[in-house]
Chains A and B, each alone.
Chain A
């Protein structure tokens, strides 16, 4: 049995182990790993997530038990202090000696801390290990007082890591100040203009930026209170995170006289061997081609080479070209650079696109002959990064007008990239786990994978930094399609039907409840996707409220209220058309006061009361119902509001009584469940103060009646409703609305609003007119009848709930105690209250 000793259990050291034991011929070896940190290797790339949940285990690359199960001996909390090359032994900090046949140095790097006067002061941190973060958090706690103003904290270094640290500081509730020596942010990856755009974006997040600053002193007595740049130039900060670059942890190499780089790092050849052929070095400690690569992907490649070399496959060598492309994973800011971000004129030319109003900057560098992409920069929108990166890596052909790569081709959705399927099979799509396009496609065509989840489980693609996810999704979908496996849109793994089919099946077969539907048409035990869909179908067929089949309702519907950030709920009574009497306003005010609720006028012309605890909901609703209110269904996929303007009742331009009509319509469709929420609007004239064209259905008063518009919405993808019919009288308008809504409810997919539904409807608006107005399918009467049936069955579900003691049982935090949730914390907010923010 030969013994391999791995020094360092970081990301690359771990990857070495993983790759080693995966090899069939690794049996004759025993692996012994030493890690200086107290815990097994963890995902340093996602270190910042530790601020979110402080769950160290969640970051582990593999649990301790994995090492055991693989026969790897892992000794943590023990540093290797010496290497005795002649006797092939190492010594550890516990003064124990171990013999090796092969030695793998994966000692990584340490943050570089410049020698600044006062840098040893309390409150100065580096950002590399979980312990560093714990120390920062503990220190931050001591700083937080009841002082009004926010505490300032600085980050030294405006590179990739520095910006990530700044975001972490921001999330800790401090005011971050980034101090950079160079005249721009991310100096190594971005050109001046790109950097400028990034800076504006970063500043808009609340991060202050100080450029061209050489720090010459850390101020303060025992603890830091500020940083001094020039004589009169200083900032006050109470904490500092140093992120000024890395230095390889090469001390072992030095003491045992391996060949070293002038500025540090242990020199390796393309077999990852150091100057002693039995000693390998990989990861951030290894100096390859006179470079230290501060990224995981090259480290993982080095691990692979070392594994193969040790196992006797001398042909596997480290490639000379190492891809240093990077994408910043700061949430809220898109930045990426790939290939050659700057462009010496002798090699090619650059095309630059900048849009200051949208904080966008894109640059591509193209060879002189215009045939290949040499590199580029994306700031503000890096959604094209994966594709551009692949084009660069694989030398794929580019459009004749290279600028199309950044400004997009002409016309609809204009992709100038071609299809993801055009990239070669050998193209590396996931560089963290070295997964090629071929690996992904083959896992489907030959490996039996049937969906994204299978592919990820099999290939490990996307499990590193996750940057390749969009591309992997595209590849999986395209490959499935080409296999004819484009499984039709089904509700989820439990029902192999789409919503419309399921709607028909349940209706025709007179299915009674969810379980019966699952037994008849599905398999397994259901999930949070299919349950609400089936609940909505039952509601659309029978107008049943969520009180009948409670267990299949989405949490909001189950408690007839919207769950809020801290697990409390909101209460929204219906205020049809936005019209409300002073008496009712007073009731809302009184109820809010009685239960100490935060109140706000919503965007839907009514009043939302926030911060109610579960057990208070029935009490609040009892008070409201006694005063004549009913549920506003703000929690359901159902009719929300019909917004109105004041119309001819008061307005000097009004053509018809828009308020009256809005109230009539809102009351007509209240409680109506649908595939997605439904909103309406009624405006008294073409000035359109009710924003009716931003709604699923809108009516605008004109000479001679109402113009009816359908299929609009606001939200993430705003769409104006399109003119459907003109100059309708009240009766006809309602007839068309009944038919239109019922037709939508019957045929739309789950969570598809009217606008995307119309987009997909073959024949579009003309076809819709034929069905609804000309009755081309001969179903118009049926649609009207069905709708009238639903309207007749309407009942206020809150009234139902508070009148039935059995239904009331669900509004209690604990089954076995009358206590309430004692973890709720509210903080004051402009004379009201709000939940304590998430950390």
Chain B
């Protein structure tokens, strides 16, 4: 399980080597998440229509290593966009992956780009 987790490292926009196309905008439900696959990685993608933003992060919750974050509800805490894990409701910032409950778990986030109605996620590999 640890190896699975280790493959997820936050990617910043300027580091992106591959913009991987994951589908068209309409493939992603509004104001919630869906999961995509890139090589061995599972990435949760959120179409945050209400904020007019897109976010992506690892699908694996670091708490119990389950691939479930795409299924979590999104929202905000004090203005910070977040996802709540469906299993035990741990909250993660979608901006930087930090844990909003003050616990130690955190997640990797990835840049998202929309071009001509298509959705791209940025990876370094």
Contact = CB atoms under 8 A, between A and B. Distances in A.
| A, B from the same assembly | yes
A563 B87 contact: yes
A525 B81 contact: yes
B67 A821 contact: yes
6 contacts: A55-B105, A524-B76, A524-B79, A551-B32, A563-B87, A815-B23
A815 B87 CA distance: 21
B28 interface: yes
A526 B28 CA distance: 19
B77 to A, nearest CB: 7
Interface string A531-572: 110000000000000000011101110110001011100000
A838 interface: yes
Interface in A807-835: 809-810, 813-817, 819, 821, 823
A788 to B, nearest CB: 32
Interface string A353-383: 0000000000000000000000000000000
Contacts of A494: 75
Given A54-B2, A456-B102, A819-B37, A555 B73 contact: yes
A527 B76 contact: yes
Interface string A273-287: 000000000000000
A776 interface: no
B62 interface: yes
Given A53-B105, A58-B105, A815 B34 contact: yes
A821 B42 contact: yes
Nearest to B30: A551
Given A815-B36, A823-B67, A838-B64, A527 B72 contact: no
Given A493-B77, A528-B84, A563-B68, 7 more contacts: A55-B62, A58-B106, A526-B76, A528-B73, A566-B66, A815-B23, A815-B34
Chain B interface, DSSP helix/strand/loop, else mixed: mixed
Contacts of B14: none
Interface string B81-110: 110101101010000000000111110000
B31 interface: yes
Contacts of B79: 524
Nearest to A813: B35
A525 B75 contact: yes
A826 to B, nearest CB: 14
A493 B31 contact: no
B27 A815 contact: yes
B45 interface: yes
Interface in B38-87: 42, 45, 48, 50-51, 60, 62-68, 71-73, 75-79, 81-82, 84, 86-87
Contacts of A554: 73, 86
A402 B2 CA distance: 52
A-B residue pairs, 7 tightest by C-beta: A58-B104, A527-B75, A555-B86, A528-B84, A551-B31, A528-B73, A525-B76
Nearest to B32: A551
A154 B77 CA distance: 46
A300 B84 CA distance: 35
Contacts of A551: 29-32, 73
Nearest to A43: B104
Contacts of B102: 456, 463
Contacts of A423: none
Contacts of B34: 815
Contacts of B11: none
A515 interface: yes
Contact of B29 (A527, A550, A563, A813): A550
Contacts of B2: 54
Contacts of A809: 29
A493 B71 CA distance: 22
B71 A555 contact: yes
A839 interface: yes
B83 to A, nearest CB: 9
A526 B74 CA distance: 8
Contacts of B4: 823
Interface in A27-77: 49, 53-55, 57-59
Contact of B36 (A524, A810, A814): A814
Nearest to B21: A816
